[in-house]
Structure formats: structure tokens, C-alpha cells
Amino acid sequence: MILGQEILRAAKILAEAENAAASCGAGISAESGIPTFRDPGGVWERADPAEMGTSEGLIATLKTNPQKLLPVFRDLLDTFEQAEPNPAHFALRHLEQMGILKTVVTQNIDNLQQEAGSTDVIEVHGNGFRMRCLKCGRSKCYPRKDMIRRIKEKIQAPDSVAFSDIVELMPKCEECGSVTRPDVVMFGEAVKDIPKSFEAARKCDVMLAIGTSGVVYPAAYLPFEAKEAGARVIVVNPNENAFHRVSDVYIPLKAAEAMDQIVKAVKEQ
């Protein structure tokens, strides 16, 4: 079977690697039940990015019509509450434990890669469960399910909600007591840790591009950067993607199935 040979080739390449990096897109968390925000069924089909996707838009909507946000907000909370790391997240943790994988660059804000046990995760779009103080800039991570449960309890009963209620839902800064916001990159805001992610791409000996279509910056450039610096590139994606020109191995499967098989094959090497 041709696909089996590709899995084997990927495993051989990884078995020889000592400093692999992964660049993960929404595809790796889709199998944890988190739909891609920009795809059909995603949040931007139900919510206007101008009203919810920018911080100015979100604050304006919170002040003028906070009820409008409630259904989408509740829906997002349910989605993130039910999500668990899947075999693809755990496969990356196993590769780290085997001394093969050093860094994961992820576009996801769901904290699932860390919950799977990976220790070096660069979150270019931030983390939805890390709160950043609007005054002193300090940030702190909160346990995902606890935080969601607390917020859901507060917005359960009332059908209407005021701006101040939403602000009250966010934990206060433990240093200065000021208001915090989720430390995620919204539309129009700068992507985080770009130099670090490009450095990981330049230094790695193998780049795994998993569930990323190659249209979102900076993830779109990382496999190219890695290839140019001499790394081999393994692409895992059942859908159309931009990496054919640089991929040494292409596995057109969903992340969990592909990564599970690859790690098993690495262990057999």
C-alpha cells in the first residue's frame, strides 16, 4: 500500500532526527471537536468578525449589544470545555519524549498540546486560557475546564447581560488587581513569537507540518524556511495545502490517524 510506504518513510526520517519541529494548524485540533474558525461551521460563519473578531469591535458590541454575543460565546465555551487532546497531540508528546521533537509551533489557542504533555510550545495566536492584564501586561494561565465552568455558571441564568458583567467574568490581575483579557491574537493584532518560530524552523532537521493549509501567516512560511535551511519536510493533511513544492513526504490523512501510525512506525525502527 502506497500510503503505508509514506508512513514508513516519514518514520525513517523522524527516527534519524534529533531536533525536529512541528508546525500545527487547526487540523490537529479538529479531531478534538474544535472546528476551524474560518471554515464552514466555524465561529466566523455565525459571528461577524468586525463585531467579535477585533478587540475594538468586541468592546463596542459588549457595550451596545452584549446579548448578541451570548449564543456564540456559550457555544464556544461548550466546544472548548468538551475538547480533549487527541492521538495527534499525544504523538507529538511521544516524539518529544523519544528525543526527536524539540518544538511545536501551533496556531491553536486551545492549550491541548500542553495538556498532552509537550513542554516547548510556541503559540503564535496566543492561548485562550491565559489572561493578560490590560494595565501591567502580566499574564497567567488558568486551568481550562475550571475557568470555563466558572464563566458558564455566571452566564447560565440571565438572558440579558451587561458589559460590566462580562468584564467581571474575567479573573482580576493577581499583581495589580486590574482587568484582564484572554491573551489571544485577534484580527488586526500582531502574531506572537515570530522570531522564535522562525528560529525553530531554521534550526530543525525535520519539519512536520500538521493540519495547516499554508494560508495563515506565519505558519505558511515555516516549512519553506525549514526546507531552505536544509531540513526535510513531512506534511500531514487530508486537504489541499500549499506545501507540495517543499514536502519530502506527503501523508493525505487526518492528523490523529497519521501521527499515531507514524509514531508506532518510529518505535519499530
Identify which of residues 171 and 252 has a Cβ nearer to Zn ion in the complex. Answer: 171
**Residues 31-48: b if buried by 16+ CB within 10 A, e if exposed:** bbebebbeeeeebbeebe
Catalytic residue list contains 94: no
> Is the CB of 173 or the CB of 265 nearer to Zn ion?
173
- What type of residue is 251? I
| 3-state SS class at 163 | helix
Indicate if the alpha-carbon torsion angle 253, 106, 212, 223 is positive or negative.
negative
Cβ-based nearer residue to Zn ion, 179 or 242:
179
Contacts of 88 (CB under 8 A, 6+ apart): 28, 31, 210, 211, 255, 256, 258, 259, 260
CB 251 within 8 A of CB 258: yes
Residues 207-266 within binding reach of Zn ion (CB under 5 A)? none
Taking the complex as a whole, the smallest distance from the CB of residue 188 to Zn ion amounts, in Å, to 23
Q: What is the nearest approach in angstroms of Zn ion to the Cβ of residue 167? A: 14
> Is residue 136 within the footprint of Zn ion (CB under 5 A)?
yes
Q: Is position 131 an interface residue for Zn ion (rule: CB under 5 A)? A: no
* Contact stretch for Zn ion (CB under 5 A) within 38-46, 85-93, 135-143, 223-231: 135-143
Query: Given CA atoms 160, 166, 171, 173 in this order, what sign does their dihedral have?
Result: negative
Q: Which is nearer to Zn ion, 62 or 173 (CB)?
A: 173
| Contact flag: residue 134 with Zn ion (CB under 5 A) | no
Count CB atoms within 10 A of the CB of residue 150.
Answer: 12
DSSP secondary-structure letter at 66?
Answer: G
Least separation in angstroms between CB 178 and Zn ion = 5
Q: Which stretch binds Zn ion (CB under 5 A): 42-50, 59-67, 141-149, 169-177?
A: 169-177
- Cα–Cα distances in Å, from 141 out to 97, 126, 154, 174, 194? 24, 11, 20, 12, 21
- 135/150 with CB nearer Zn ion: 135
Q: Which x/- pattern, by CB under 5 A, does the window 172-201 give for Zn ion?
A: -x-xx-x-----------------------
Residues involved in catalysis: 125
Q: Which residues would be at the binding site for Zn ion (CB under 5 A)?
A: 133, 135-136, 173, 175-176, 178
